[in-house]
Amino acid sequence: MTSAFAHTPVLLSETIAALQPRSGGLYVDATLGGGGHAERVLELSSPNGVLLGVDADPAALKAARQRLAGFGDRLITVESYFDDLGAIAERTGFGKSDGILFDLGVSSPQLDTAERGFSFGTDAPLDMRMGPSADTSAAEVVNQWSQKQLERVFSDYGEERFARRIARAIVEQRRAGPIATTGQLSALIARARPRSREGIHPATRVFQALRIAVNGELDRLQRALPQAVEVLQSGGRLVVISFHSLEDRIVKRFMRDEARGCVCPPEVPVCVCGRTPRLRIISPRPIVATPDEVERNPRARSAKLRVAERL
Smallest distance from the beta carbon of 310 to ligand SAM, in angstroms?
21
Q: Does 35 participate in binding ligand SAM (rule CB under 6 A)?
A: yes
Stretch that binds ligand SAM, among 16-24, 35-43, 252-260, 300-308 (CB under 6 A): 35-43
Smallest distance from the beta carbon of 76 to ligand SAM, in angstroms?
15
Q: Does 119 participate in binding ligand SAM (rule CB under 6 A)?
A: no
For ligand SAM, which is the closer residue by CB, 214 or 255?
A: 214
- Of 16, 19, 27, 37, the one binding ligand SAM by CB under 6 A: 37
Query: What do you get for the CA distance between the two ends of the chain, in Å?
Result: 36
Smallest distance from the beta carbon of 162 to ligand SAM, in angstroms?
27
Smallest distance from the beta carbon of 271 to ligand SAM, in angstroms?
33
Residue nearest to ligand SAM (CB): 33
Distances (CA, A) of 117 to 34, 99, 236: 19, 33, 37
Q: Does 100 participate in binding ligand SAM (rule CB under 6 A)?
A: no
Q: Does 82 participate in binding ligand SAM (rule CB under 6 A)?
A: yes
Smallest distance from the beta carbon of 36 to ligand SAM, in angstroms?
3
Q: Does 36 participate in binding ligand SAM (rule CB under 6 A)?
A: yes
Stretch that binds ligand SAM, among 105-113, 251-259, 266-274, 303-311 (CB under 6 A): 105-113
Stretch that binds ligand SAM, among 19-27, 104-112, 137-145, 150-158 (CB under 6 A): 104-112
Q: What is the 3-state secondary structure of the chain?
A: CCHHHCCCCCCHHHHHHHHCCCCCCEEEECCCCCCHHHHHHHHHCCCCCEEEEEECCHHHHHHHHHHCHHHHHHEEEEECCHHHHHHHHHHCCCCCEEEEEEECCCCHHHHHCHHHCCCCCCCCECCCCCCCCCCCCHHHHHHHCCHHHHHHHHHHHHCCCCHHHHHHHHHHHHHHCCCCEHHHHHHHHHHHCCCCCCCCCCCHHHHHHHHHHHCCHHHHHHHHHHHHHHHEEEEEEEEEEECCHHHHHHHHHHHHHHHHCCCCCCCCCCCCCCCCCCEEECCCCCECCCHHHHHHCHHHHHCEEEEEEEC
CA dihedral 71, 73, 76, 77 (to 10 degrees): 70
Q: Does 247 participate in binding ligand SAM (rule CB under 6 A)?
A: no
Stretch that binds ligand SAM, among 26-34, 161-169, 199-207, 254-262 (CB under 6 A): 26-34
- Of 51, 56, 225, 228, the one binding ligand SAM by CB under 6 A: 56
- Of 16, 42, 50, 60, the one binding ligand SAM by CB under 6 A: 60
Q: What residues make contact with ligand SAM under the rule CB under 6 A?
A: 7, 9, 31, 33-37, 54-57, 60, 81-82, 103, 105-107, 130, 220
